[in-house]
């Protein structure tokens, strides 16, 4: 019995000494253009990015890889989305928040006895050397009703969420939590928390949370604020 217990103790000790597996190890080993193209092929709907990347000169491909595998620089990119305004980094090689600014969309019934359902959204994105690298979106859906355009009321905050549309940055992951949407002062409001992680082999982990507050109005317009936790 003592021999069996000793063997079990030895096995347990060996297991604790084994190195922990890094779920981002395969992604963080990107060092060459061929590595990056192979990484892109493991990502959904990445054909356009492959085409954009392969259109770069060999020198720019190497520069691109240097940028997207630099955790400190990519953290700056994520933090730059805080402004919500078009921003450039790395002497203009990296552009943040360059896509549409979340033009309002609405659908549903018409003003009168029926309610109109409106959806507004705000996008946050980046491009490196003209290659789209990530985008996420915050949405809010609500209903508006009234007997005329002069007395419209926000009737109900229906829902909303955050969506990570795509990432072409090795080691970047993102998830979302939210508070229940609500109606306040004749507006609909939702608060969404965007949780991001950057994990690179040998560089540890960087992580953060951004709170986006999106507000929708009776005319289908929107405003938003963003703060970092």
Render each residue's pLDDT in the chain as its tens digit; 229 residues: 444 444 444 434 333 333 333 333 334 578 899 999 999 998 889 999 999 999 999 999 999 999 998 888 998 998 888 776 788 999 999 999 866 554 544 444 444 456 789 999 998 899 999 999 999 999 999 999 987 777 899 999 999 999 999 999 988 889 999 999 999 999 999 999 999 988 876 666 788 898 999 999 998 899 988 887 7
* 139, 120 contact by CB (below 8 A): yes
Domain range for 218 is 23-228
185 inside domain: yes
Sequence-separated (6 or more) residues with CB below 8 Å from residue 9: none
* 191, 216 contact by CB (below 8 A): no
3 inside domain: no
7 inside domain: no
75 inside domain: yes
Provide the 3-class DSSP secondary structure of residue 201. coil
Name the DSSP class of 29. Answer: T
- CA triple 193-195-200, angle to 5 deg: 170
5 inside domain: no
CA distance 43 to 226: 28
45 inside domain: yes
Provide the 3-class DSSP secondary structure of residue 51. helix
Number of domains in the chain: 1
Q: Which residue from 19, 224, 37 is spatially nearest to 131, judged by alpha carbons?
A: 37
11 inside domain: no
100 inside domain: yes
Q: Which residue from 158, 78, 81, 76 is spatially nearest to 116, judged by alpha carbons?
A: 158
CA distance 41 to 188: 40
Q: How high is the pLDDT of residue 129?
A: 96
């Amino acid at each position: 019995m003592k021999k069996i217990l000793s063997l079990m103790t030895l096995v347990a000790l060996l297991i604790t000494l084994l190195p922990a597996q890094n779920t981002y190890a395969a992604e963080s080993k990107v060092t060459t253009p061929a590595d990056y193209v192979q990484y892109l092929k493991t990502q959904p709907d990445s054909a356009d990015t492959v085409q954009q990347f392969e259109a770069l000169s060999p020198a720019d491909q190497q520069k691109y890889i240097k940028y997207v595998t630099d955790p400190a620089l990519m953290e700056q990119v994520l933090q730059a989305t805080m402004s919500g305004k078009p921003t450039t980094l790395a002497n203009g090689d990296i552009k943040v928040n360059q896509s549409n600014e979340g033009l309002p969309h609405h659908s549903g019934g018409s003003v009168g006895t029926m309610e109109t359902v409106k959806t507004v959204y705000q996008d946050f994105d980046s491009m490196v050397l003209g290659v789209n690298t990530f985008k996420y979106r915050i949405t809010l859906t609500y209903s508006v009703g009234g007997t005329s355009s002069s007395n419209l009321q926000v009737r109900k905050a229906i829902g909303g969420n955050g969506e990570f549309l795509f990432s072409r940055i090795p080691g970047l992951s993102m998830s979302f939590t939210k508070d229940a949407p609500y109606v306040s002062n004749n507006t609909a409001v939702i608060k969404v928390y965007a949780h991001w992680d950057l994990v690179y082999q040998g560089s540890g982990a960087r992580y953060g949370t951004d709170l986006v507050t999106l507000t929708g109005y009776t005319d289908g317009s929107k405003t938003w604020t963003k703060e970092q936790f």
